[in-house]
Amino acid sequence: MDRPIGMFDSGFGGLTVARATIDLLPAEDLVYIGDTGRYPYGSQPLDDVRRFARELARSLVDDYDAKAIVVACNTATAAGLDALRAELDVPVIDVITPGANALVRATTTGRVGVIGTVGTVSSGAYPRAIAETGVPVSLTSSACPGFVEFVERGQTTGDEVTVLAERLLAPVVNANVDALLLGCTHYPFLARTISDVLGPDVTLVSSADETAFAVREQLDALGLLRDQSAGQGAHRFASSGDIEVFRELGSRLLGPELDHTEPWRAADR
Ligand code: DGL
């Protein structure tokens, strides 16, 4: 099956999921769209984010012939997952369910935290997904406005981001959680700073690896996996914003596979 996996995010955050997917499934072709022309999603009305998600997913299916869609964005998942699943005739894989499953596995005290964008936290998607695991935990959620902007500027460490992290993470520090889910795909790029603020006893859980496993499982179940001995897959990256900026920062964040970025426009469809 030589059709690509289609993946999207508001910008660079989903590259954490792309990295994990490329590492786990190196033979798969992948098309990634970073909607940097319209980011950040986290502070925008969920109705608008749902519209963006539908445009992006539809383009990945119609223009790139994607065989599956990975919504590599928590905010877009919270806003639009049900609509995407209802509309598309390819499997749609999200980051929230795999993240919730990993979080409840990681805790030993049962006190867990989730951080995400304002949109994700206010949607209640994580409390619902965690309740669906059936594991009784005490959850503290905290929105972290500003984190995404630091990542999009390529500023992932330093005093400014540390000061912000100390303030935004105070609720989860005070709740004495032992596992914290990075409920925004941008946040793994800030893991060092977040970990410094929380201390070594708090396990940071990223949904990137778990989502890659979910992709493999779904594709395998549907007979859509590419023969993994077929050699290295092709990786295409597109952006609705400045493609040079996307290539430059994206290659620093993802690695050498991101050596070229093509333009993507909602109006092109
Ligand atoms: N990376 C996205 C997420 O997982 C969105 C960040 C944003 O654009 O605000 O929520």
* Residues 158 and 111 grouped into a single domain: yes
Query: What is the rounded distance in angstroms from the CA atom of residue 142 to the CA atom of residue 234?
Result: 38
In the numeric block, the tokens 């092109």 are attached to 268
List per-block mean pLDDT (blocks of 10 residues) for the chain, which spans 269 residues. Answer: 92 96 97 97 96 97 97 96 97 97 97 97 97 98 96 94 98 98 96 96 95 97 91 96 96 95 80
What residues make up the domain containing 200?
Answer: 97-207
> Ligand 1 centroid vs 124 CA: distance in angstroms?
15
How many angstroms separate the alpha carbon of residue 36 from the centre of ligand 1?
11
Residues 217 and 196 in one domain: no
Based on the domain organization, do 121 and 197 belong to the same domain?
Answer: yes
Residue 2: its pLDDT value, please? 84
Q: Is residue 268 part of a domain?
A: no
- Of 169, 190, 207, the position where a domain reaches its end is 207
User: What is the total count of domains within the chain?
Assistant: 2
Residue 158 and residue 226 in one domain: no
How far, in Å, CA of 189 to CA of 169, rounded? 16
Asked if residue 136 and residue 49 are part of one domain, the reply reads: no
Task: Please indicate, yes or no, whether residues 174 and 237 belong to a single structural domain of this protein.
Answer: no
Q: Are residues 77 and 164 in the same domain?
A: no
Catalytic site residue 144? Answer: no
Check whether residue 194 and residue 257 sit in a common domain: no
CATH of the domain at 122: 3.40.50.1860
Q: How far apart are CA 214 and CA 219, in angstroms?
A: 8
C-alpha span between 64 and 62 (Å, rounded): 6
Evaluate whether residue 269 is within a structural domain: no
Report the candidate in 80, 69, 30 with the shortest Cα–Cα distance to residue 222: 69
